[in-house]
Chain A
């Protein structure tokens, strides 16, 4: 029987991803990795966490294996399971197991979305033991020396049903991500969408103003990702005001008063 092997190159990031450093996250990550301390990326959605991971795995030439967590995620989904193929049972590694074996970066995105009984499997991986128990096979897998576990978490969600447990979070080093400053963000938007600097500047200005409204009823301000979406629309010829309405205001809220206020702000900026 042919074992399903992992082609490391499939997960290798070949080209240098575009990533602008916001604080000192590159150096901090590097230090964490040198010491094999698992990393928690904290921050609102769309502020560059995924991009950062792509960049870091390119930098260290490690395969990047990403799992987006959701509440149906089971331990088998992460660790692996038996499948029946041609009358034979075959064990297939899950993403964590693959990362552990090849010494990759395993990135569990939005970890709080996963159920608590699922998240506990990462505990022994995230401390000095660096082992992954594979219950079904009665095995303990020691992580390859290059392996690193990274999780992300958005503290903006206030739901009590989705809180990161202390026992989980205390195993990680926390890198705080926020929206890049005005200049950096303008630069990023220009790069990602190829629109001109003044328009990118106005988008950033609008983004900033939506973030002012978080205490007034928006659950989150516009992320860099949303600004890039709007920028791309503008680049393909959509009127900037409409682009902002559909790509930003409309996705941020359903509240009519708020949408009206946002649209006044858009009118004032563009």
Chain B
């Protein structure tokens, strides 16, 4: 059915467009306005349209500015607050005219919204960072905070409600968030969400037994599918679980839990009396009462009263399966009770359980692990039956290593393959690989040799086209030698970006940047006393005394007898090498750029010399090296434009760009030379530059850089940093940042720590 407001609103939109055209606005500007209007939800959009329509009559130039302010307000206010603010704005325009309206709207970025905010409410997004740090502190796990109407967790993300206004005091509302988050952590730490299908189903087949579902769900979801009254069972479980969580949290976070005591009494007084509920509902509600106060308000159904001790004993539970045991008993005991089960409001800080979310999450993790394994197995099965053909005659064949007796190998297609531990144990779990068997080294014919998985990856098979550009060697670990002049590297101009990216970031992080600059200026301006100098501002007493004594002792005295204060003691040149491969598309690329902006601010304050280059490329004949800022270039608009222009390109062949960076650093005069690379995972290029080949070449390039007196430091942005990193980076310092949004703040801190 067509929306009745539609014709009217379309008409308004047309009028606005018409008015803007009359005022000579460009098409793009008009489209931007339409987009902005369309970004509001239906209800608000209608009002916004009416307002813009009125404004466009006065002057179209007011429209787009006002829209920006409205968007800001909508981001900062809750829907009902937004409504009040908007109505006020419209009133002002209507009754007082344009100028007071403009004043009113202009105050949005400052304190104009405050009168419309409920003073006591606390919004999750104000404390998300705090809560995530809190959770990481108490749990040691990297849990993310998400928003949903009730608190629950899927074991990776802790969902919390977007606003809390239960208490009049914001600090208390924060406590409530903390309490919710702590309970979710409790579930993860106690493993109560990891319970699985129980041995004894309560009765016959459940709503969806394993037989009508070829690959039924696993874990907690499977458990709950057994219960015909699923919602009732889930609620019972989360109630019973609360007893176990309570004693766990008392032990871990006694301070928090003692504060929860007061809350419990308060909540208890708000709970319904049992007499007012159906028997079935009273059964569940009674457990709430036990949890909150140890006793029930009103008479508990007999079926529940009989179970009270058993339920309270869950306080001492150490195994989540004990909860499952009591769950079955309680579910059974409540079976004959009269009335429907009407869920009451849960105790808000306990939140709820979403078995399907937990199982889905665990399933996803399992799948990821399986995919990895499958990749390896496919590689094994598709392996040629004979030794891989060598494309180049000058390399020795795959290096053969004698089998060791106490190791385990996979015998497949007439070869003995060494596996790493993870793959080994997974293959065992699977019960083997088609066409292969696991054998012990001692069972293999003596004198046999083995190969590793990486030996089997074939060598690059590419045309030998060699263009111009700078040639670099590449390390081929299989041959244990360099491929001479193998890569062609081209320095490429970067297209400056169009949007004022740098300015936007500087605006967004204004306060942070000021603090950052101060931090770095301190390092710079701390005057350094250099003792025992050949010349200087004053005499080094210690040195003079020593020289005098030496002279008297008949030795020739030291000549360095002065103290000099030096502000330019820092003599550091740093080159940032930025991964611009296709895999950085999206967030990573943005974070890299943002990180660079902050880094430039810090370095400008510090006075260290720095250069920024990006790299990407496609095959060894086209390694591209983008200049963003050279050492001699000042940090001006041209550089800023190039930072904005950093965009994802093709592949990641890291060796050549590292070697090129090392040559650039090599001709810079500095006492300390740093090469900081920023990438998002494994080096990979078209052809054979993947897996161990890429890793080994990168490793080698870093070693070469070290040999040239350069300190490489590698920052990898990777959710699941593989074990290959410590090998690839070797002695080089490196750090893995698993969440890209942390990069911009972390990088400056890393740099500071690296160089003080």
Contacts and interface: CB of A to CB of B under 8 A. Distances in A.
The judgment on whether A and B are partners is yes
B549 A269 contact: no
A136 B140 CA distance: 55
Contact of B548 (A84, A91, A262): A84
Contacts of B742: 216-217
Contact of B255 (A76, A82, A267): A267
Contacts of A267: 175, 178, 255-256, 259
B733 interface: yes
B753 A212 contact: no
Given A84-B545, A267-B256, A268-B253, A260 B550 contact: no
A213 interface: yes
A268 B255 contact: yes
A15 interface: no
A21 to B, nearest CB: 25
A264 B546 contact: no
Interface of B: 129-130, 133-134, 136-140, 142, 174-175, 178, 182, 252-256, 259, 531-532, 545-546, 548-550, 552-553, 555, 672, 674, 711, 713, 733, 742, 745-746, 749-750, 753-756
A209 interface: yes
21 contacts: A72-B531, A74-B532, A82-B555, A136-B553, A136-B555, A161-B756, A205-B252, A209-B138, A212-B136, A212-B140, A213-B133, A213-B137, A215-B136, A215-B142, A216-B137, A261-B130, A261-B133, A261-B137, A264-B174, A267-B178, A268-B253
A246 interface: no
Contacts of B175: 267
A88 B742 CA distance: 64
Contact of A161 (B139, B546, B672): B672
9 nearest A-B residue pairs (beta carbon):
A82-B549, A261-B133, A268-B256, A212-B140, A160-B711, A268-B253, A89-B552, A89-B553, A270-B255
A202 interface: yes
Interface string A78-95: 000111100011010000
Interface of A: 72, 74, 76, 81-84, 88-89, 91, 136, 157-161, 202, 205, 209-210, 212-213, 215-217, 219, 241, 257-258, 260-262, 264-270
Interface centre among A82, A83, A88 (most CB of B within 10 A): A82
B572 to A, nearest CB: 9
A202 B254 contact: yes
B549 A160 contact: no
B739 to A, nearest CB: 10
A219 B752 CA distance: 11
Contacts, number: 107
A159 B546 contact: no
Nearest to A216: B136
Contact of B672 (A81, A160, A213, A270): A160
Nearest to A262: B137
Contacts of A83: 545, 549
Contacts of B137: 209-210, 212-213, 216, 261-262, 265
A265 B129 contact: no
Nearest to B174: A264
Contacts of A89: 549, 552-553
A219 B753 contact: yes
A82 B753 contact: no
A136 B755 contact: no
Contacts of B756: 159, 161
A257 B129 contact: yes
B552 A212 contact: no
B178 to A, nearest CB: 6
Nearest to A212: B140
A265 B138 contact: yes
Contacts of A261: 130, 133-134, 137
Contacts of A212: 136-140
A269 B255 contact: yes
Given A202-B254, A212-B137, A160 B755 contact: yes
Given A82-B552, A158-B733, A262-B137, A217 B749 contact: yes
Contacts of B142: 215
A241 B255 CA distance: 10
Interface centre among B139, B253, B745 (most CB of A within 10 A): B253
Given A212-B139, A257-B129, A264 B178 contact: yes
